[in-house]
Each structure stands twice: as structure tokens, then as C-alpha cells.
Structure 1
């Protein structure tokens, strides 16, 4: 599948993107151009995004609140975020308490990241969604 077909497919999935001009061929392979094209929109007090950015250093910043599709489906995003916190905060507290024993080579954020993705996946599965695009810098 060529890159233009990907942009056209995204326009079919997200009708608001039909209003945006597909970038010229030389710019389509540049990820920053793609991010700009898919950028979030401000609607009232809320932002809507078609890509969710997960901060690897702070996985609780995972973009769920801005996810346009979940907003349109009236998903209980706060509940999902609370479930993520309920699972990750004890893990982080345990690591902080026992960091000397566990060692500096253990990356607790990796495990937290897995939990975040697992909870997002469960939320999407409950809505019968089949594809989500998540990126991390």
C-alpha cells in the first residue's frame, strides 16, 4: 500500500480529515508532517485527536482524554484512567520503596507502559474497535 492510500483510508475513517489536503508526495514520508496532518482539534473546552501520544516517562499521560473516537462513542474515559492509576500507582510505590533491592536496571516505566496499553486495549475491545494508532516519541 502506498502512502497516499494510507492518507485516503484515514480520510474515510475520520471524515473531518477529508477537509484537509493530503501532503505533497515529498512530505508524506516525514512523520512530523503526518502528525501535523492528523493534529488535534479544539472543540469547545475539549481537544479531539486521532492519534494518541503516550509519554514513555509518564505513561499516565496517554491521550485517552483527547481520543476523538472514544469521545464520540461516549466512553467512560475517566473510569479507564482510574483503572490505569489503580493498577500502576501501587507498582510505582513498591518500586520506589524497594529501589535499592530491585536495582537500577529495572525499568518500572516499562511495566507501567504495558499496563496502560493493556487497559486501553480492554477499553477498545469493549467498544468493538479493531484498530488504534498510538505513538511514543
Structure 2
């Protein structure tokens, strides 16, 4: 999915079996029949067709299989008001719940958050950014 550097927003299908990988399909995102531009930072495909993009800084968008906006779900006002920079960065779907990752701690907090949206309700988990064990280097032979 393209971000704000490329407008309108498009869902891209990439063929990775070829070298170099190639884009084989582009699906333009539309709202009310018109192309729309979002700063999409992640997308989750739904089993029954459709998609949930995470839009920075603070919006979930439900798309049908044709890329049409069916619903826009803002983060709760108290969360939106305390996003310091960036915002939603990742997204996943499990069952009927949508999970999002907030990229940075909210203003006044030292942890960042993972949000769960299901049945019209938000709930939140906090996690420390320094949760990696002491001495962890990320991968054998690599240091971060």
C-alpha cells in the first residue's frame, strides 16, 4: 500500500518470484467514487476480501475488495490528542479484532501502545520500548 508520498492511495500486488520483483496490479482507493490519499503505514488483508489500512497519524479505514472506503474509524479523542509524532505504524487482524501499533509513546508516557478495535470498542495495552533483553543484538552477527 502506498503512503502519502504517492497519491492517490493504491494497494499494490507484488510478484516476488521474479527478479527484480514487479508490481502486477494496482488498486486505487476511493471514497464516494473519488480517488483518495491517505498516509497508510500498514495494511491487513481480510479473509473474506477487503482490507484494513492503518493511516497515520490516527485513523483506521475499512476497505472492501474493490478498494472502496466503507468505514473510517478514528482513534479515541484522548489518544489522538496525545500522539506526539508519527502515529499508527502497523496493523493486524485476528478473528474479528483489528490490532494496531502506535509508533511512539503518547505525550507524558514512557511506554508505547498496542490498540485493539472490535465491535466498535477500543482497548489498549502498553509496552516498554526497551523490552529487549540486555545484550540482544537483533540477529546473529549483526548489531543494532
Give the structure-1-normalised TM-score. Answer: 0.30
Q: Higher helix proportion, which one?
A: 1
Larger RCO, structures 1/2 (Cα 8 Å, 6+ apart): 1
